[in-house]
Structure 1
Amino acid sequence: MSFQKILQNLPSVAKPSKTLSFKQKLKWTALPLIAFFILGEVALFGLEPGAAGGDIFGSLRAILATSFGTVLTLGIGPLVMGSIILQLLNGAGVFKFDMSTPEGKATYQGAQKILALAFTLFEAAVLVISGQIASSALLAASKGLFFANSIVIAQIVLGGIIIIYLDEVVSKWGFSSGISLFIAGGVSLEIITRSLDPFRLGPGQPINGAIPAFISSLVEGSIQFIRVHPNDMLALFATIIVFVVTMYAQTMKVEIPISYGRIRGFARRYPLPLVYASNMPVIFIAALIANLNFWVAMLNKAGINLLGYFDPAGGAHGFIFYISPYTSFAKDLIQTNVGALDLLHAFTYFTVVVLGSIMFSKLWVGISGTNSKALAEKLVNSGMQIPGFRTDTRVIEKVLDRYIPSLTVLGGAFVGALAAIAEFSGALGGGTGVLLTVGIIYQLYQEIASEQLMEMHPAIRGFLGEGGLI
């Protein structure tokens, strides 16, 4: 059996044998999300108390759906990293995946699983062996260090496998994808916590939630709109502004007139969104930066400061500092507390995110089947045509080439710039996290609305095909 056949025959979640109802899809979206939240509270067995030595993913924690020291210590990071590697290999022509055929899709999904599992195993082993997550000294004394480390590694790997298959369940049986759903769930939970948590962080510490802290300051007669703690009213207002701007950006589209060749008079406009590659480029660049954080932390443990280092308090220094999110830039500007190095930090981070988003946008459009050729084939197979042009895939592809390549680059640059500026604002849940969550919820709403329409009018499903052109 060839390696390609092995990839195609890896254990996978079967597709539903019939069209699922709206309620069934909603159920299979909600159940994996509930399971995700539960797993995020399951602490690793065999850890030394207090030995989960600091969250190395920092402000990217919510975006990667990680919960350090639990079964979801690595979150969706390995799965996203596997996708990044495959996209780069596909873009470089090292491996080619024909996403228009079931075999090509199965090969891609199998390769993604193998890479995600390899990253999970490797990163878990490095975390435990380096002492970033230390196994119990008592367990190591009684059963041996190898056994104690293996127990912790196995649990992290199990969590990674569960995430892989939960993502597949949502993608095939529910709405949206598991990756998107877990990001939205994690960021939403963090926004709620950082906005409304009425408890103090510890004895003599400030109140955690922005709104309770602001109310408390009013009662005490000292209005604290901005405070040292990151959860303040400035961050809350920044979150609202990012939300509004992102929602507006989601509605910006280029519309192409299309008609149905078999029915005279049936015409509509096919929308090509400005953010054509969706928010996937930002997810990929965030995952890439998070993985660089991981490797810098691990190299520091080995005494190597090649790309910078983290001090005992978790502060970044060197190269890794300049490509990390600058979440207090807006607050520092207001308080006139910005120096030359801070401006360099902001400029470097902005440039890396924008250029990275453009690159991943082009790669994602190619691998996801949304390029001009794939969309032209979809329109022709659905019986659609562009008025004034022959119903030929090559002709329609040339028409779409006027828009899609430009939208891919412009959309990637726009969403990258929006993500970087959102991070500068210090928004609750992380600026990038809020941007991603708004985009995910908007797309989820569109998918749910489309599904409800097709359930109410079954003829539309047969007319446009499963998923339609919406």
Structure 2
Amino acid sequence: MLDLVKPFQAILPEIVVPARKLPFYDKIAYTVGIAITFFIMAGIPLYGAHASTSDPYSFTRAISASSHGTLMELGVGPMVTSGIIFQILGGFQALNVNFDIRADRELFQSGQKIFALLLTFFHAIFLVFFAQTYGTISTDSAVSELSLGAAVLIVAQLTAAGLVLILLGEIVDKGYSFGSGSGLFTALSVSQNFMWQNLALLKVHQEFVGSIPALLMGLWKNGLFNFGGSYRYVIENSFFRQNLPNLLQLYMSVAVFMLTIYLNTFRVDIPIKSSRVRSLATAFPVKLLYTGSMCLFLLSAFSQNVLIYSQSLYVQFPDNLMVQVLGSWGADGSPVGGIAYYISPNNFGYDVIKMVLYSVYTIVGCTLFSKYWAEISGSAPKDVAKQFQAQSIVIVGQRAQSAPRELAKVIPVAAAVGGAVVGAIVAFCDIFGGLGASAAPMIVAVTSMNNYFEILAQEGDIAQMGKAFGM
């Protein structure tokens, strides 16, 4: 299958791996440049589009690093989906690739990049022509909101932006920055959303969007700073106001932040030592959050794909029974029935059935994705045992041949339980805290920061980071 990629390698844009390890400050410069480019693209609206105020994909925006009605409409969704599919195919040896051979690795990466670009193109077509997200397309000029030329232009903009994002991600992945491209974009998106929800000074219906400015303005108007006035309404509105960020969501986000940091400390230490030289035993840590937030990336990408195709099919075939089972959509562009309704954390109200089904979907989905990602991503017990063998490491008190069996007692359990815990936190916050208090973006942000610190520690850049910040 990968042989089909070879003819395109010559014309496919590619980022060259740096000849040497870049200094810390050079990586900082690249990271800042990438972040600025990302924020600019996330702020440029699609030319010719009539974006609606309704956004059925709002709950995936932070994790997918996407922004409604802008060049970043699709975000890292196609990149993550492509990575998942190729990782699964490679893990189950459906692709004939040897990762120890450089040519095979480059071919695999080129195929993943091409597939991500194709997914971007097809997602753009579905959103524009099938779901008609940016305006109705019709042969009747009295009904049509979007001309064919404008529709084609929007698809071209989304595809070009997707290619730029793929190349920016490749710059990060090739060692010019820290961590992974998708992780960096998601961390930037989560940080931006958090700042916007709590500090934005934009006014909507005479209220500040940001929860903290809204509280301060309410206190000022009610005369509390002059030791008078009634504050009960101000406090209640600040904590429970609808359709705008509130303080309850802020406090829940902070609680999730602290809880995730605490959960990152849970681990099982497996004692190991070198079989070559006599040395003291050290520990191989298996964390509770063994796969980090990857299960949320996978679940978000899966949900986003289901919603895109469900909405696209329903607009074209609203009376088809199978399409209605996949999802029914209201006039405001939000799911009102079917699978799409039950997997999106919107409009719970008092719908107990949706609460239960959404909780089951989130918890089971995170559990399965976390468990199977550990198996196909090179983190399975047999893969870790091979790394031990290559480095002449043995588990204390065990023979080298028993390493896979001993690791299998811990790693799958940690992956599954960690995924279930993450899913339970996300489901609880989505149901009882409102969409703005979704725990998923905050968990992703914390695990991404933790990964960055681990990378900096491994590369010996912690001291330089301290000097950069005057510490």
Q: What whole-Å deviation, never above 9, does each CA across 1:211-239 have from its counterpart, x for those lacking one?
A: 12222333323322322234111111111
Spell out the pairing of 1:263-412 with structure 2 (5 A cutoff).
Answer: 263-304=277-318, 305-306=323-324, 307-319=326-338, 320-326=340-346, 339=350, 342-390=351-399, 392=400, 394-412=401-419
Equivalent residues of 1:310, 1:316 under 8 A apart? yes
Q: TM-score, normalised by structure 2?
A: 0.83
Aligned counterparts of 2:298 and 2:68: Cα–Cα separation in 1: 20
Q: 1:245 aligns with which of 259, 267, 270?
A: 259
Q: TM-score, normalised by structure 1?
A: 0.84
Deviation beyond 6 Å, 4+ runs, structure 1: none
User: 1:377-456 maps to which residues of 2 (within 5 A)?
Assistant: 377-390=386-399, 392=400, 394-424=401-431, 425-426=433-434, 428=436, 430-452=438-460
Unaligned runs of 5+ in 2: 223-229, 465-471
Cα distance in structure 2, aligned partners of 1:436 and 1:421: 16
Rounded Cα–Cα distance in structure 1 between residues aligned with 2:428 and 2:244: 17
Deviation (angstroms), 1:184: 1.1
CA gap 1:321/1:44 in 2 versus in 1, 3 angstroms: same
**Shift of residue 194, structure 1, vs aligned partner:** 0.8
Unaligned residue ranges in structure 1 (runs of 5+): 330-337, 457-470
Counterpart AA for 1:279:
S
1:226-265 alignment, distance < 5 Å: 226-265=240-279
1:198 aligned residue (180, 198, 201): 201
> In 2, are the aligned partners of 1:353 and 1:420 still within 8 Å (CA)?
yes
With 369-378 and 51-60 compared, the bigger mean Cα shift is at: 51-60
Q: Is the 8 Å Cα contact of residues 54 and 334 (structure 2) preserved in structure 1?
A: no
SS of match in other structure, 2:157: helix
Residue in structure 2 matched with residue 39 of structure 1 by the alignment: 41
- Alpha-carbon displacement from aligned partner over 1:215-264 (angstroms, at most 9, x marks no partner): 23333233223222341111111111111111111111111111234443
**In structure 1, distance between residues paired with 2:209 and 2:356:** 30
Q: 1:107 to 1:373 in 2, by over 3 A?
A: farther
User: How far did 1:443 drift?
Assistant: 1.4
How far apart, CA to CA, are the structure 1 residues paired with 2:16 and 2:421? 37
Aligned with 2:299: secondary structure?
Answer: helix
CA contact (8 A) 1:236 1:427 kept: no
Contact 2:126–2:309 (CA under 8 A) maintained in structure 1: no
Which residue of the partner structure matches residue 227 of structure 2?
none
Q: What amino acid is the match of 1:322?
A: Y
Correspondences of 1:42-57 after superposition (within 5 Å): 42-45=44-47, 47-48=48-49, 50-51=50-51, 54-57=54-57
Which amino acid letter does the alignment assign opposite residue 55 of structure 2?
D
CA offsets, 1:22-72, max 9 Å, x none? 223333333222211111112223x05x44574341222121111222221
For 2:456, give the aligned amino acid.
I
Distance 2:44 2:9 in 1: 32
User: Is the Cα–Cα contact under 8 Å of residues 129 and 137 in structure 2 kept in the other structure?
Assistant: no
Residue of structure 1 in register with 2:117 after alignment: 117
* Other structure's SS at 2:284 match: strand
State the AA in 2 paired with 1:292.
Answer: V
Identity among equivalent positions (%) equals 30
CA contact (8 A) 1:230 1:426 kept: no
In structure 2, the CA distance between the partners of 1:254 and 1:379, relative to structure 1 (3 Å rule), is same
- Residue 23 (structure 1) aligns with: 25
8 Å contact kept, 1:238–1:427: no
Equivalence for 1:169 = 171
Residue type of the alignment partner of 2:43: E
- Of 180, 184, 199, 2:183 maps to 180
